[in-house]
Amino acid sequence: MKISSIATVPFTLPLRRAIGFAHGSMASTEHVLVEIHTDDGLVGRAEAPSRPYLYGESQASMVEAVRLWFAPSLVGLDPFRTDSIRGILDRTANNNTVKGAIDIALHDLIGQAVGQPCFKLLGGHTNRVRVTYVCGYSTPQEMADECAQMHETHGVTAFKVKVGVDPRKDAASLAAIRARLPDALIYVDGNEAFSEKDALNMLAMAAAHKVAWAEEPCPTPDTVARRRVAEHGAIPILGDDSCRTLSEVAREAMNAAIHLVSIKVARTGYRLSRDILGLAVAHGIRPLVGSQGDSGIGVLAGAHFCAAHRATSALPAELCFHLNLGADILVDPPPIVNGELVLDQRPGLGLTLDPDKLLRYRVDR
């Protein structure tokens, strides 16, 4: 079996409502569908998120990167050679998320070829993933209502709450959510909005509301503040934007700046995500699987990785973002029941695309 072609389809999906965070808001999600075709007729698929403000990649740049660089380098190769292919991809700098999508699509393809789901290929620990709902920035009442609705409708018991705009509002939001969900696991995401002093104050306030940990309170470049906040803060620190690559995770670990790390397969694929997982475990850093504004495709990709490993399965994963979408390009987006996503035995990622939805939401025609 050889790779015969690689196709890309940029698509944009609407959100049910805008999601706010410390530095702005988003009303839709932009992705590129990557399809790897083989001479045997199999097609492996994955999605790459467009986040130019984080990774410097747009839908247009990812489409061109595949057309100009990656497809010509990979056509004719055996798709089982995932490690060698990653080395070929890394001859081109950056382009992290489209490289990640190619890697995941290869694993989807391999799973189909051998008739096994990806979570079994990657480790096979379980097929169940407890999920975390990410609550965007709004009024305290609206945020509490949103979390309570997710608990009542889908059984979700873990929540990531956006903070970092107004300290008093942050405190009121956490108090309101905790009052509605006294037994929930709650953590906060500062999106790098806090100074060292303000971060320490926020962590103390969060601890009073039984918040488990805080994601990226301080800017990534401020290494001294990050280390001090991790050392003196009232609750542990979760690394995300500071941990986009294996070398960045190693830096944060050596700087003692994080206690947990968010592994986002959209930006590191499966190959590098496993390297990050091993590094984290070796340093005593707890891993969890994060969200990248995923559609159902990205949610399933993350779920297969999370379920495959003991360490990632130990904490809830941010894998229900698709519940915020006004539409999806899958026939059957993964349901969330009793706070869990349960993977079935379909080979690869188990994707079934809806061609009519893809035609409607693609942005290249």
Residue 23 has a pLDDT of: 65
Please state the φ and ψ torsions of residue 47, each to the nearest 5 degrees: -125, 150
Residue 54 has a pLDDT of: 87
Catalytic residue among 146, 189, 294, 340: 189
Our answer to whether residue 162 is catalytic in this structure is: yes
Among 24-33, 73-82, 232-241, the minimum mean pLDDT is found in 24-33
Catalytic residue among 103, 146, 215, 318: 215
Catalytic residue among 292, 294, 318, 328: 292
- Alpha carbon distance 285, 63 (integer Å): 35
Nearest to 286 by CA among 359, 212, 345: 212
Our answer to whether residue 340 is catalytic in this structure is: no
Six-digit token pair at 327? 């539409």
Catalytic residue among 240, 252, 294, 328: 240
Side chain identity, residue 210: K
- Alpha carbon distance 243, 290 (integer Å): 12
Q: 270 with 104: CB under 8 angstroms?
A: yes
Residue 218 has a pLDDT of: 98
pLDDT at 24 over 80: no
* Domain residue spans of the chain: 3-115+354-361, 121-342
The mean pLDDT of 248-269, rounded to a whole number, is: 98
Mean pLDDT, the chain, rounded, equals: 97
Catalytic residue among 47, 108, 162, 196: 162
> Which band of pLDDT confidence, cut at 50, 70 and 90, is reported for residue 27?
confident
**Model pLDDT for residues 322-363, shown as the tens digit of each residue:** 999 999 999 999 999 999 999 999 999 999 999 999 999 999
As its CATH architecture, domain 121-342 has Alpha-Beta Barrel (3.20)
Our answer to whether residue 294 is catalytic in this structure is: no
Catalytic residue among 47, 264, 294, 328: 264
**Model pLDDT for residues 231-243, shown as the tens digit of each residue:** 999 999 999 999 9
Place of tokens 């045997």: 40
Q: Which CATH superfamily is domain 3-115+354-361 in?
A: Enolase-like, N-terminal domain (3.30.390.10)
Our answer to whether residue 145 is catalytic in this structure is: no
